[in-house]
Amino acid sequence: MQSSVPQAKFAFSRPGLLTFKIEGQTMVAAEALPRCPFIRSFGWSGEMISGTLDEVAPKLESYRKQHRAGYLHVWERDSKRVGDRGFEPFAKPEWEAWGAKLLALGGPDWAGVAVNRSVPSGEKVLDLIQVDQDRWLLGFHVAASTASSWVGGAPPVTSAKVISRAYYKIKEAMLWSELPVQSGQHALELGAAPGGACQYMLEQGLQVIGVDPAEMSPEILSHPKFEHWRMRASDIRKRRLGRVDWLVCDSNVAPQHTLDTVEGITTNQHVQCRGIILTLKMPDWKLAEHLPSYLQRVKSWGFSFVTSRHLAFNRQEICVVASRSLA
């Protein structure tokens, strides 16, 4: 982050929430920040407030007078690493209740302000972020992308009966990237077991091939639109892939290995897939320094649109999405 905005200096920070002081060219920062794949949500921070919601309300009132906005997002920084001890970055029901309480305290002037709703592009949003118990950060941002229209930059995904966490990851990847995935198309997943991502893709009406030497969940195996190729990705016969529209890879191998395997498939003469969704595992976060070269390599396979994001549901891994054309 600091290399993309060299004049940014660390200010108040907690795990999952960083603030920076930026001297001078704030517009440069405003353009650079959304391109950093590790920033889930960003905005301009106003003031830190200590106290209960009743004490926060008057500050919010005066802040809104300066920054008239039709939307209020109330959320909190992740309390744990996602996937640890059952923690997932779902919206909590109390966030909306807190917002409704603040609106009620604000009186008639707040009528029409929407709390914790997705925001149309270009609209200003007030953010009230719970940093710690009784400590809040007040700020605002302007919705400029799909993810910045979501509360706290996390997708509107709720808890479901899933075969694995990969269900949430692929759902977020598809919502965020807006790939034009349509029912009836064909998907191939490398590293598919036990089958959370296949579960989501089957729910979307896709025809799915899961490649994995490990066992798939019986629920997925018995689905009429699913086929299990019980093998390593390197053993696939490429001429069988002519109908694949979307290639998904979630194998737990090093990024270089994932890229070698996927390159072998997507550049094969028999394969014409429209796009790919890769999970690059980062056994060491230092590998993230190579992300620009990884993206460049994916681009060289004939994908004109390549982007990456550390998804809200990602653990120590990064999601890369590529497509032949911008839908």
Ligand X SMILES: C[S@@+](CC[C@H](N)C(=O)[O-])C[C@H]1O[C@@H](n2cnc3c(N)ncnc32)[C@H](O)[C@@H]1O
Which residues have C-beta within 8 Å of that of residue 179, sequence separation ≥ 6? 246, 274, 275, 277, 321, 323, 327
Integer Cα distance of 304 and 299 in angstroms: 6
Is residue 233 close enough to count as binding ligand X by CB under 6 A? Answer: yes
Is residue 251 close enough to count as binding ligand X by CB under 6 A? Answer: yes
Which residue type, as a one-letter code, is found at position 23? E
Residues 63-82 that bind ligand X (CB under 6 A): none
- Residue 149 or 251 having the CB closest to ligand X: 251
Stretch that binds ligand X, among 24-32, 134-142, 245-253, 308-316 (CB under 6 A): 245-253
- Residue 106 or 264 having the CB closest to ligand X: 264
Stretch that binds ligand X, among 67-75, 76-84, 247-255, 302-310 (CB under 6 A): 247-255
Is residue 232 close enough to count as binding ligand X by CB under 6 A? Answer: yes
Tokens encoding 162: 């899933």
Is residue 287 close enough to count as binding ligand X by CB under 6 A? Answer: no
Q: Residue 26's closest CA among 52, 40, 5?
A: 5
Is residue 188 close enough to count as binding ligand X by CB under 6 A? Answer: no
Residues 199-228 that bind ligand X (CB under 6 A): 211-214
CB of 214 to ligand X, least distance (A): 4
Q: What does 206-245 look like in DSSP terms, one character per residue?
A: -EEEEE-SSPPPHHHHT-TTEEEE-S-GGG--GGGGTT--
Single out the residue of 193, 271, 298, 311 in contact with ligand X (rule: CB under 6 A): 193
Stretch that binds ligand X, among 35-43, 87-95, 138-146, 189-197 (CB under 6 A): 189-197
Q: Residue 276's closest CA among 265, 290, 260?
A: 265
Is residue 164 close enough to count as binding ligand X by CB under 6 A? Answer: yes
Q: Residue 140's closest CA among 30, 227, 219?
A: 30
Is the C-alpha dihedral spanning 223, 224, 227, 228 positive or negative?
A: positive
Q: What is the CA radius of gyration of the chain?
A: 21
Is residue 250 close enough to count as binding ligand X by CB under 6 A? Answer: yes
Is residue 5 close enough to count as binding ligand X by CB under 6 A? Answer: no
Q: What does 45-83 look like in DSSP terms, one character per residue?
A: EEEEEES-HHHHHHHHHHHHHHS--SEEEEEE--SS-TT
- Residue 127 or 250 having the CB closest to ligand X: 250
CB of 61 to ligand X, least distance (A): 46
How do beta strands 275-281 and 246-249 pair? parallel
- Residue 69 or 197 having the CB closest to ligand X: 197
Is residue 160 close enough to count as binding ligand X by CB under 6 A? Answer: no
Q: Which residues bind ligand X (CB under 6 A)?
A: 164, 166, 190-197, 211-214, 232-233, 250-253
